[in-house]
Amino acid sequence: MCDGGCLKHPLFLRLRSVLVVLLALLLLGLVTRPLESPAWTVVKARQPEMNLQAIEGALGQGLVVGILGGFRSIMADFLWIRTNTIWERRDRVKLDAMVRLVTTLDPRPEFFWINGARMVAYDVPNWRIQEEGGYTDVPQSRQRAIDLDQAEQAFAMLERAREFHPQQAKLYLETGQIYLNRLKDNAQAAKWFLLASQQPDAPYYAARIYGELLRRQGKDAEAYAFLKQLHTELPDDPYAQKGIILDRIRELEATLKIPLWNRFQPKAGSAVLPAGPSLEQKVRMLEQAHDHAHDH
């Protein structure tokens, strides 16, 4: 059938050349593997934002340009401006893709994560409820399901953000805020506010809100103990709002009916006041004086 002529056919020769080149490149890949493999392990470990898991679901032109190398920051910035246009148009499918794209391209600014999570957790549920007939027509259970669904997406986004910024209090606070303001889940919100308060850059109010959330859950004793401890540990900084904490402590003391002599005495106050009998001693002295008066 083929008496050697087809072996000299131009098509066969071309195919043979292609195969030889491919084979050579394959061998080259194998030869360079001992150099490439360890180097790639080191380089890849330092680029968590560019692994497959991170970029799947965020594919788009912007991402390709970003992966190609460079301009990632400016690309993410311009795409964020575009994300806002999409947000104004209430296109929730595109919005989700764009937020993923932006945060994948440049995961460094926490601005993208926090604002993206807010759009997903607060705005999109409103749009979805409006699409289904509005707050008056959509049953409460359905509204709750939508809120939960969107909040889960926002939590996943913030969870990823914390992989890049593990000690950024704002990201813990944001999760707490969603639990508190959208899902009205005080217990979960308290957990996240406490976590936020334990981060190095935590604002003073994170711990204060945690104490307040304990109170809202009816855990008055726990809230009282926490706020007392907090008041002792906080510096005398106007931003720490120690006065507000002391007010809460006093309210809790009234609620818990703490005896007067067992009530909290601010440390800073004791340093200012002249040394003398403690409040408990003074009350006892007053009571004794009162008893004496009765005896007479």
Partner 1 sequence: MSGWIDSISRIRLIAGNTFLEAVRQKFFNSLLLISVALVASSTFFQQFDFGTGELKFVTDFGFGALFFFGSILSIAATTQLFFSEIENRTALTMLAKPIYKLEFLAGKFLGAHALMLVFTAVIMLVLAGILYWRETALMARLGEEFLGGRLIDYGDLLVFGLLQWIKFGILSAIALFIASFSNTNLYTVVVAFFVLIICQLQYIARDAYSAMEQGVGQWLVRGLGLIFPNFQLFNVGDQLVFNTANPLPVGTVWQIVGYGIIYTVAFILLAQVNFRKREI
Binding positions for partner 1, rule: CB under 8 A: 17, 21-22, 24-26, 28-33, 35-36, 38-40, 42-44, 46-47, 50-53, 55, 64, 67-74, 76-78, 80-81, 106, 108-112
Least distance from partner 1 to the Cβ atom of residue 249, Å: 35
Give me 146's structure tokens: 């939508």
107-112 — which CB contacts under 8 Å span 24+ positions?
Answer: 107/49, 107/160, 107/161, 107/164, 108/73, 108/164, 110/161, 110/165, 110/168, 110/170, 110/171, 112/76, 112/80
Q: Nearer Cβ to partner 1, position 99 or 245?
A: 99
Give me 184's structure tokens: 């009205």
Least distance from partner 1 to the Cβ atom of residue 42, Å: 5
Helix, strand, coil percentages (3-state) for the chain, rounded to 5, are: 75, 0, 25
Q: How far apart are CA 206 and CA 169, in angstroms?
A: 9
Q: Nearer Cβ to partner 1, position 28 or 260?
A: 28
Least distance from partner 1 to the Cβ atom of residue 74, Å: 6
Q: Nearer Cβ to partner 1, position 80 or 193?
A: 80
DSSP secondary structure string, 151-191? Answer: HHHHHHHHHHHHHH-TT-HHHHHHHHHIIIIIS--HHHHHH
Least distance from partner 1 to the Cβ atom of residue 288, Å: 57
Least distance from partner 1 to the Cβ atom of residue 20, Å: 8
Least distance from partner 1 to the Cβ atom of residue 45, Å: 9
Give me 247's structure tokens: 């007010």
Q: How far apart are CA 122 and CA 179, in angstroms?
A: 11
Residue in the structure block whose two tokens are 């072996």 = 7
Least distance from partner 1 to the Cβ atom of residue 82, Å: 12
Q: Nearer Cβ to partner 1, position 28 or 156?
A: 28
Q: Nearer Cβ to partner 1, position 80 or 192?
A: 80
Name the maximum alpha-carbon separation found in the chain: 138
* Whether the Cβ atoms of residue 57 and residue 74 lie closer than 8 Å to each other: no
